[in-house]
Amino acid sequence: MRWIAALTALSLAASAGAADMSPPPEIKPAAADPLAAPRRLIAAKDWVGALAALRAQPQAGSADWHNLMGYTLRKQATPQFAEAEAQYLEALRIDPSHRGANEYLGELYVMKGDLAKARERLAVLEKACPSGCEQREDLQKAIAGAAK
């Protein structure tokens, strides 16, 4: 009888241990950046490749996508200012406080010699980041350089 009790105890212990041996919950990776490839191409200054990558995966509702498209169009060997401006404006329609789009649109205006419009973008960035941010500082430098 003792051996039956011992066997039962071992059996219960084994099944309890088996419950502890279940596999851990599945850990899902963070969502991948859908704009990672164009960002890498932009970082490498491969404007043609970045433009192709962006056009291959249009994202009409993404302010980031429109901002990167505008930036890429502006940086082409032959800048496409009108199309770049339209992309920046669409990014700002989606997200009016988008720092990158405000900075890059301001830089586009500096390139076109329209410092009044560039200063309008700077005013938006001053409100968006009153303590300062990279985008605000970069646009300030671009305006200061053009005003000399």
Task: Return averaged pLDDT per consecutive 10 residues of the chain, 148 residues in all.
Answer: 48 46 54 89 97 95 97 96 98 97 98 97 96 96 91
DSSP 102-115: HHHHHHHHHHTT-H
Residues 28-37 have pLDDT tens digits of: 555 688 999 9
Buried-state track 75-86, b at ≥16 Cβ within 10 A, e below 16: beeeebbeebbe
The model's pTM: 0.77
Residues 5-21 have pLDDT tens digits of: 444 444 444 444 444 45
Of 47, 62, 115, nearest to 92 by C-alpha is 62
DSSP 32-96: P-TTHHHHHHHHTT-HHHHHHHHHHS--TT-HHHHHHHHHHHHHSSS--HHHHHHHHHHHHHH-T
